[in-house]
Structure 1
Amino acid sequence: MSAIPTSTSVSESAVIPAHFSDVWHLIKLQDFSKWWSALSKSETLEGSTSPETDVVRWTFTDGTSFDIKQEEHSTINHFITYSVVSASTDISYTSVLSTIRLHEITTGSNEGQTFVVWTANFSNDAGADVIQDARYKRKEALADLAKASSKK
């Protein structure tokens, strides 16, 4: 049986009905478990931080964990980029690079709210099941982010 050809990119977006700064302050890898219901824990790994590198372990509610490396963080352009450096279980792809980018909505009916785009670019060995799972998880996480942001 051959693999199903699929795009290895995922992009999900949402308008979060909260002020930009309330949403931006939640976008720290070590704080994701404070708002993403799929995570039971997100913690900085001891000895993994240096001036150049931050590694955070995300533990999902099903017990699997991923070590996430912060690749880039911009407080000027309001985005964070991260990669998976290891997993507690076998994964069927070689790599993934994800970015969460925020935009302040400054006009129109959504003025004062926040537009969020969460992308992932997987290596070409990622199957359709991986892409669909990533899409589902991002949609769920964006809904959780909206709930957490509206509590501020």
Structure 2
Amino acid sequence: MSNINIPTSTSVLESAVIRAPLSHVWHHIKLAEFGKWLSVLEKSECVKGGTSPDTDIVRWAFKDGTVLEIKQEEHSTINHYITYSVITSQPEVSYSSVLSTIRCYPITSGELEGSTFVEWSGHFSSDADAGVIQDAKFKRRDGLADLAKVATQK
């Protein structure tokens, strides 16, 4: 018995409370701005000449040499979320697709009033294995920590 696939969920959801107001956190949630705070990125930049004039595509160059083109699928400044997908990857990834969402909620009462609850989800195609899901989990945790650092700076 070789090459046994381990059944796994194809979704990941990580969350954090960031001790900063929603406006300070939400300000950084723009795909082209991720390179300013996400520590694994070397740079992020808008890609000109997308498939249509209303399509937002951003290239993320990671410090490990990976380059992803990211398409913004949805964005709401009213409900404070952004949804994006990976449309190209160099080197190629081992799964067909992933759709990710970052959503921010103001904490309006209690001990953490004035803070922001942030969740970062990823929904992978069924060909993503357990290693992909674990990697995504820890990258999101690290990313939320990076976001907290930049959002809480004075």
Q: Same fold (TM over 0.5)?
A: yes
Unaligned 5+ residue runs, structure 1? none
Number of equivalences: 152
* Greater than 6 Å deviation, 4+ residue runs: none
- Secondary structure of the 2:96 match is coil
CA RMSD, aligned part only? Answer: 1.0
Give deviations 1:65-123, integer Å, cap 9, x for gaps. 10000000001111000000000102110000000000000001110000000000000
Provide, for residues 14-33 of structure 1, a one-character-per-residue CA deviation record: whole Å limited to 9, x for no partner: 00011110100100000001
Q: Which runs of 5+ in 2 are unaligned?
A: none
Instruction: Please state whether the residue corresponding to 1:103 is helix, strand or coil.
Output: strand
Q: Distance in 1 between matches of 2:39 and 2:14?
A: 17
Aligned counterparts, 1:53-132, within 5 A: 53-132=55-134
One-letter code aligned to 2:68:
F
Cα distance per residue 1:41-84 (max 9 Å; x no partner)? 00001212855210000111111110000000001111000000
Give the alignment's TM-score, normalised by structure 2. Answer: 0.96
User: What is residue 145 of structure 1 aligned with on the other side?
Assistant: 147
Q: For residue 133 of structure 1, what is the aligned residue in structure 2?
A: 135
Q: Give the match for residue 31 of structure 2.
A: 29
SS in 2 for 1:56: strand
Percent of residue pairs bearing the same amino acid type: 62
2: CA distance, partners of 1:132 / 1:53: 30
Aligned residue for 1:18? Answer: 20
